Amino acid sequence: MELIKHIDEVILIFIKDNLSNNFFNIIMPIISALGNIGFIWILSAIVMISMKKYRNYGFAVITALAIGYLIGNIILKNIFARIRPYNMIEGIELLIAPLSDFSFPSGHTLSSFAAAMIIFAANKRWGIPAFILASLIAFSRMYLFVHYPTDIIAGILIGLFSAYITLLIFKKFGWIKNTQKNHNINKKLNNQNKI
């Protein structure tokens, strides 16, 4: 654990010493704020729900966010109770207000990757920008010194897991259909069976 903690701190200090600049100091708090309480992803879900073709994917985004929140924010944060890096490393001037909850895992990252995976499953053209934004939000949390790299990695993995479970459930109950590729494969198999 001490080795992991040391690597985490080295990476954060590297970001601070080598990537800090006035432009990032302005833009990173804005990017990070998009992930506050899953704002941008809830907004995306609402837009999808308003479109008949993507309605159930919008509900899937909400479901994945809820699963991720339960696993990450309610369970794991309270089990690990990890103190945020700005409280552990001296000489850090925060660009955002201090946070009251624990560090592990990153809730912003978790919700971002959970939503991005669902959006990608719904429409790849939307999914690629969603993953780019999710990655920027994840990086912003390290830049702002509110999360360790391992918090980010855990957030990504739990977010993708939440989305994967959600997609399985929604497909199982027929609320969303398999991809077009799978549909074509099933169609070919059915045609061969008829022969």
Is the pLDDT score of 112 beyond 50? Answer: yes
For the record, the structure tokens of 69 come out as 């929140």
Give the pLDDT confidence score for residue 195 in this predicted structure: 53
Please indicate, yes or no, whether the overall pTM of this predicted structure exceeds 0.85.
yes
pLDDT (mean) for 164-189: 74
Q: What is the tens place of the pLDDT at every residue in 18-64?
A: 999 999 999 999 999 999 989 999 999 999 999 999 999 999 999 99
Q: What is the tens place of the pLDDT at every residue in 60-108?
A: 999 999 999 999 999 999 999 999 999 888 888 899 999 989 999 999 9
Q: Selecting from 1.20.144, 1.20.120, 1.10.3470, 3.40.50, what CATH number does the domain 2-92+100-194 have?
A: 1.20.144
List the domain boundaries for the chain: 2-92+100-194
